[in-house]
Amino acid sequence: MPLSAITLPDRAGYDRPMARWEPDAYGRIRLAALKLFEEQGYDNTTVAQIAEQAGLNRRTFFHHFADKREVVFPDMHRMDELIGTEIRAQPESTGPLHAAAAGFAAAAEEIFEHQRAAAAQRSRIVAASPELREREVAKGSALADTVAAALRDRGVAERAAAVSAWSAVAVFQLAIARWAGADTRHPLARLIRETLDEFLDATAPDR
């Protein structure tokens, strides 16, 4: 089975020349992997199976993804950049937590809002595998680093920036969990704001 075993939009009607390879190997791998992960679980799925399902060689999988886990966490780079930019763009007077939350809200609009189903599937798959959960918190850690860097650029002191960044990431991830879950239908940006407010309310008496 050298070519795509995945159902793709039919190319009939095009008279562009047949490409050398079935197009979008990257996308086919992702599709195949998510399908198999959901059907059989992450652990019971081998890279060889994914490659076969995508009509590719095992080695080719590793040309597109650094490892088996990465297939589930694509595009983090774009999101990081977007969030960093947005945080830096907030008004000077905005405090670190609200600035970070605003950055996440921007990412919510641009990246997440039109992918609820995909995000929910991803979330289910990750929740079922300790290995993937570990990778997910690692991604959160990287995100916290870029958020902290953006906050430092706004003049927030080193350590305060780091802690604020982690708090904001926690808010973001909780909001995503609610949003992808079944319990509500509010837009993600709103859930971010709500979650942050709940945190601020609960900790306010501390001051």
Partner DNA sequence: CCCGGTGATTGCACCCGGTGACATCACCAT
Partner DNA sequence: ATGGTGATGTCACCGGGTGCAATCACCGGG
Residues that bind DNA (CB under 7 A): 2, 17-21, 25, 45-48, 55-60, 62-64, 66-69
Give the Cα separation of 55 and 4 in Å (integer). 4
Q: Which does 162 bind (CB under 5 to 8 A by kind): DNA, a second copy, none?
A: a second copy
DSSP per-residue letters across 6-70: S-----TT--SPPPSS-S-HHHHHHHHHHHHHHHH-STT--HHHHHHHHTS-HHHHHHH-SSTGG
Q: Kindly state the number of chain residues that form the binding site for a second copy, as judged by CB under 8 A.
A: 39
CB 155 within 8 A of CB 149: no
Among the listed ranges 9-17, 18-26, 44-52, 161-169, the one in contact with a second copy (CB under 8 A) is 161-169
Nearer to a second copy, 32 or 165 (CB): 165
Of the candidate residues 41, 43, 138, 184, the single one contacting a second copy (CB under 8 A): 138
CB of 2 to DNA, least distance (A): 6
CA triple 172-176-177, angle to 5 deg: 120
Does 201 bind a second copy (CB under 8 A)? Our answer is yes
From the list DNA, a second copy, none, which binds 201 (C-beta under 5 to 8 Å, kind-based)?
A: a second copy
Q: Which does 169 bind (CB under 5 to 8 A by kind): DNA, a second copy, none?
A: a second copy
| Measured distance CA(186)–CA(180) in Å, rounded | 10
Between 8 and 76, whose beta carbon lies closer to a second copy?
A: 76
- What minimum distance in Å lies between the beta carbon of 9 and DNA? 17
Q: Is residue 90 near a second copy by the rule CB under 8 A?
A: no
Q: Give the type of residue at 166.
A: W
Stretch touching a second copy by CB under 8 A, among 2-10, 30-38, 78-86, 94-102: 94-102
Eight-class DSSP state of 112: I
Nearer to a second copy, 87 or 171 (CB): 171
How would you label 147-163 residue by residue, b for 16+ Cβ within 10 Å and e otherwise? bbbbbbebebeeeebbe
Q: Are 143 and 163 in contact (CB under 8 A)?
A: no
Footprint of a second copy on this chain (CB under 8 A)? Answer: 95-98, 133-135, 137-138, 140-141, 144, 156-157, 159-167, 169-171, 174, 195-196, 198-207
